[in-house]
Structure 1
Amino acid sequence: MTIGENIRKFRKLNRLTQAELAEQANMSRSYLADVERDRYNPSVETLTHLARVLRVSPNDLIGSEGDGRSGSSQALSAKEERDIALDLERMISELESNEALAFHGEPMDEETKELMRISLENSLRLAKSMAKAKFNPNKQK
């Protein structure tokens, strides 16, 4: 499911209208509608606000974003899963160092670290799936 589909699912589980959720998350209803339709990608801050109101983790909203986007129905192998885990740990440790340009030496809080880890992991999975579909097209059928 996409981020928008996950937001809509949790909104309905909480029996909230778009207007109610938007008001509680401090955003316009039209922007929320566009996010639910996947017209816009919400910022980390927006995801955090929505998750707080919906009483779920940001990870629940991000869910399996890569599913369906690449057209790949093939699962990643154990080796590819290990590669993703190693790459993810390397990236996170580099971001936590004082030399990381993205944060200019300021320490990340735990919530930001977790959101960054989730985003990076989903990006790595999507990239692996897309590369697999591109370079092994006959295996995708």
Structure 2
Amino acid sequence: MFGERLRELRKEKKLTMKELGKIFSLAESTISGYESGTRKPDIDQVKKFADYFDVQTDYLLGRSNNKKGGAPYTTPLTEKDEKDIAKRMEKMRKDLMEGNSDGDGLNFMGEPMSEEAVESLLEALEHAERIATLTNKKYTPKKYRDKE
């Protein structure tokens, strides 16, 4: 996968193997070996390629289809997804802040939670919401997905 991705990125920049080799002080045969899969670069070289092409190392290594990072899913969140997450987060915030019958707010291990701790908890919950939404999109057949 690395070789295919390297070739794709090199061609996007309209570079020959020789030109790419010069940029990295590598022989054209080394670039050719990487692209054909007969040679494997060390981790430092992978990082240099990722920096040069402005992609994540996971993308180069075939561990993600997302060039720029973020969640390793190919289906991005839509505007509708973002609105739904915002609504669910607002409901969670309200439930957490007002849900306590004695009006003391949230407690952790018997102690009241600070405002920073509550915000940190809500950020973690939002992250979990996003991952769950992306995961569900990944496994929902296209014919059953909502149209925007």
TM-score for both structures, normalised by structure 1: 0.42
Q: Please tell me whether Structure 1 or Structure 2 has the larger radius of gyration of its CA atoms.
A: 2
Task: Return the structure number with greater relative CO, CA threshold 8 A, min gap 6.
Answer: 1
Q: TM-score, normalised by structure 2?
A: 0.40
